[in-house]
Structure 1
Amino acid sequence: MIKKLLLLLVFTIPLMSVSLTVAAEVVGKNALVQLSKQAWQEDVDKLFTSIHCLHPNPWHSITVKKFKNLLQSIVSSSQTESRTRSSLKLMAALAKIAQADGDGRTGIWPFQDVTDFHLLPLRLYSFSDGIYILQANNINQQLIGHQLMAIAGTPTADVFDTVSSHLGNGSDMWVKSWSPLYSIIPELLEELNLAKGLNINITIKNSEGELVTKKLKSISAKSYKKAFHQALTRTSSTSLPVDDKSAGYLKQIYGEAYWFKKLNDSTLYMQYNHIINEDEKGQFFSEFMESLEIEIKSYQLDSLIIDVRNIRGGTDDYDENHAIYSAFFEMLNRFKAEKRQLNLYVLTGRVAFSTAANFVLDLDKKTQAIFIGEAMGGQSNYYGEAERVILPNSKLKVMLTTRYQNKADTAKPAKTAKPDYLIELSSKQFYSLVDPVMLKTLALIELSTYD
């Protein structure tokens, strides 16, 4: 039963090793200090009270009695097990609540300062033609650009499938976004009987088409963050990396929250990267929309491309976010009142979760926009507006959702909105700096000119 619970981890497994002795050998002075039984009791009491007060429907997948029993078993065994093991069981218990459909935010983000977590020094991405190594630390640069065929002898796709069953009840693209990151966590792989230890063999296909196996030494989460910069934030962990050689639509992900440029005599391109009221330059989104509207009217443009493939979401307040991006729909209403035609083309991708997904869904419901690209990662029915709760002794940061959102016309859970033109990026296109989504969009605009 305990093993089953451990396999249900959602955003958990931020741990070292089951043995505190082994952990100490790996991390030295950073080994976690054991907590007393009373300390764990205070932590689980704080967790239960917070869940009861904050979560709108916590007992969707588990009864109160069963959950309390799980918490008490953790306290009871805390003095005969390592702190790591107790934390692992606590996360497993919390994961039972996160099995509610669309509750992808309830859980514990693995890469916290109070955990001692490891990763293989790689960044992976799932393209239409396979799983590839996009980045590596300095001593493994020769691996970049190669297809990853296996992890610890198991085909990479099978590893992804195994890990994905523990990422919560999200959309298919949500799972596709997060599997690459969770598949390089040695502790999780060992828990799932896929590998053993912190150093793991990987198999790549080299440029000659040969299979080559190499043992990789894992690194701490802290070292991983340093090596890959923003690669352990919720958005950048799932995004394509950005550098000077990136395709155009990737280069300004972290530079500007929103911007636009005129592409030709008929089309304006708008990139929407962050739902915030005021950007880094001090420009309010409402002011940005005014300048965009002036641009469209001044040049008598009739097509607007809205690129949300890199959108990072907004705050955890649904109403606040809606109030921010409502300026976009206010502009559309003015155009409608003036009987001015504006064709909308929305470029979508897997990183659109939560607030970003709300914006896309509102576009789908309120406009005649054409959607091109991947399906987004977010759902129309989901639990959101997560609040952070810090447990007093372990200092584990727990995210608890506080509101159920229903953007669909039915109470039946809908996984995600599907694009009108489903286009998935291949590794060849990525490395050739080809943007198939933009190419398809421009072709559609050209065709519509002659309708």
Structure 2
Amino acid sequence: MQLSPDRGEYWYRLGRARQELGEVGPAIQALHRALAHGYATAQTRKRLAELEAQRGDAEAAVAEFEAARAAKLVNAEQVLMSSPPLSALLKDPRWQARIWPQLPAEANRLSRWHTDLDFLDKRMRETHWQLFSQVSEADWTAAIERLRSDLPALSDWQVNVRLMELVRLGRAGHTHMLPPFQGDAFHAADLRLGWFADGLFVTAAPTEHSALVGRQVLRIGNGEPEAVLAKLRAVVPHDSESGLLTFSPIYLLIPELLMHYGFADARDQLEFTLSGSGGRAERIRLPAPALSIQRLQSWMMHVEAPADWVLARDRHASARWLRHVDQPFWLDRTPQQGLLYAQLNAVRDGDQESLADFAERLNQTLRSDKVDALVLDLRLNRGGNGELLELLVQALIASPKLHQPGGLYVLISGRSFSATSLLIGDLERQLDPIFVGEPSGAGPTHVGEDNMILLPNTGIAVMAASRHFVRSFSDDQRDSMAPHIAAALRFADYRDNRDPAWDAVRADRVPR
């Protein structure tokens, strides 16, 4: 410390070590030095809050925790509950009312909603990167007051839809409210839908609904899919139009949303009009069971559908880009036309190999005489841990072949989102790749990092974008990366395991 007295990182590490050793006073002193140098403000203040609570100064502990939340402490409510020194503060009603205003079980319904609405207002202002760059403060406040005045006339599911609309005023794709899966849970039909260049189709279903797979959706409830989508854009998290198409299908299956916008008439079932044989349309009604956290996780985990569902395509004859959808990354070691194919499906480490090790393996393979260019497929990649990207980008930059014209093709889609859009920005700046496919789900400069806010009386989970990422210029207003070579996916391509983007790359390689 004598050699580097102005390195806030060193003071933070010293404070953390002394905290773990139980040296409360010296730990507080070291962390205050870290704070003075602006290092890791939210985490530093969180640790100070714990230490102040340990030495019995509850007022200072609460003040530090509030300052940590205001500095965008990630998942602050979970931190509060999981940290013994902090959770102990909630035994005192004064501190509970201040930092976690959970009402007694006997509190009436309206009191619980009013308290949670106040908490959401406060926490969105703290957590969102710049809430009032997305919506004016006057419009935000007016929306809250309208909802507050309407509460007595609304049932709980209607309040939840209005809350989803309120949160989405924050606009960033990482800012949204999860469909409620506890209490008065929302419902959803068991189907998988997908938007293609030629419309909306049923892409998968459980066995009992297998006859619906592969059919075009002509109406949802009493509305055409495009009309329903136009209304649902108020609740679907997205940055770009391609992102809206990618992330909307689950929302199209939720009756509460359809009822709110006038397209449906029941919460436990949903009507569809589907294409039929001979050009005839068929109207069907499907049950819509209550949502659960397991069903929501299933939508998140499976790119297409669970393994026991029926798919519109043949699972056993997959196009290359759909062969290993559950692997975070993989490499096809059999080059075609001098093209090496690598797919990155998530920005995270694998179970058997880290992303850094994969990057090195990719770099080594690129040195082969059989490889002229790399095709990097990011079409299934919703993002992940952006801090892991640096070594991958460095490995790609280190390959001389990728600096040649036509040396790097990057396949993108509306699912290429979050940390993936940061990678896209890095590649655009460093290597001048040829982007192929459909517009990405976000631009290289965007507000991201979904930071969870938990509401104390309803358990509702809200995600708020809490960081500004710049992988271009700060004034870059693109909400997506447009491809150099457009290759839209039609339903027949998906059904028949064809890949227009790969075909477009191969065609571009043909000498003119």
Structure 2 alignment gaps of length 5 or more:
1-104, 306-310
Q: Show the counterpart of 2:175.
A: 106
User: What is the alpha-carbon root mean square deviation over aligned residues?
Assistant: 3.2
Greater CA radius of gyration, 1 or 2? Answer: 2
Aligned partners of 1:248 and 1:169: how far apart in 2? 27
Q: Distance in 2 between matches of 1:288 and 1:275?
A: 12
Alpha-carbon separation, structure 1, partners of 2:261 and 2:495: 33
Tell whether 2:437 aligns with 1:369.
no
The code of the aligned residue for 1:195 comes to: A
Whether the 8 Å CA contact 1:43–1:391 is kept in 2: the answer is yes
Say if 1:330 and 1:60 are closer, same or farther in 2 by CA, change over 3 A.
closer
Asked if structure 1 preserves the Cα contact closer than 8 Å seen for 2:452 and 2:463, the reply is yes
Secondary structure at 1:154 match in 2: coil
The code of the aligned residue for 1:275 comes to V
Provide the residue aligned with 2:124 in structure 1. 51
Aligned counterpart, 1:216: 286
1:330 to 377, 386, 394: 394
One-letter amino acid matched to 1:252: H
Q: Structure 1 residues 247, 35: CA separation in 2 closer, same or farther (over 3 Å shift)? A: farther
| Deviation by residue 1:113-156 (Cα, 9 ceiling, x = unmatched) | 45511122221111122221111233321111111111223222
Q: 1:24 maps to what in 2?
A: none
The whole-number CA distance in structure 1 between the counterparts of 2:329 and 2:470 is 26
Q: Secondary structure at the match of 1:294?
A: helix
| Paired position in structure 1 for 2:190 | 121
Letter in 1 for 2:187: H
- Alignment deviations for residues 240-276 of structure 1 (CA, whole Å, 9 cap, x no partner): 9894354231121113434342324722111111112
**1:262 and 2:334 are equivalent in the alignment:** yes
Higher relative contact order (CA 8 A, sep 6+): 1
Secondary structure class of the residue paired with 1:203: strand
- Superposition TM-score, scaled by structure 2 size: 0.70
Whichever structure has more helix as a proportion of its residues is 2
Instruction: From 230, 234, 239, give the equivalent of 1:161.
Output: 230
For structure 1, which segment, 255-264 or 69-78, has the greater mean C-alpha deviation from structure 2 after superposition? 69-78
Q: Which moved more, 1:379-388 or 1:56-65?
A: 56-65
CA offsets 1:279-326 (integer angstroms, 9 cap, x no match): 111x222221222222222445221110111113113xxxxx2x4222
1:252 aligns with 2:318: no
Paired position in structure 1 for 2:270: 200
Judged with a 3 Å threshold, the aligned counterparts in structure 2 of structure 1 residues 119 and 420 are, in CA distance, closer, same or farther, namely same
The aligned length equals 401
Shift of 1:337: 10
The answer to whether structure 1 residue 296 and structure 2 residue 366 are counterparts is yes
Name 1:275's counterpart in structure 2. 347
In structure 2, the residue matched to 1:4 is none
Match of residue 146 from structure 1 = 215
2 CA distance for matches of 1:338 and 1:83? 55
Q: Distance in 1 between matches of 2:133 and 2:458?
A: 27
Distance 2:154 2:401 in 1: 68
Task: State the match for 1:231 in structure 2.
Answer: 299
> Matched residues, percent identical?
21
Query: What letter corresponds to residue 287 of structure 1 in structure 2?
Result: D
1:416 maps to which of 465, 476, 480:
480
The answer for the alignment partner of 2:45 in structure 1 is none
Tell me which residue corresponds to 2:356.
Answer: 286
Give the C-alpha shift of residue 174 in structure 1. 1.0
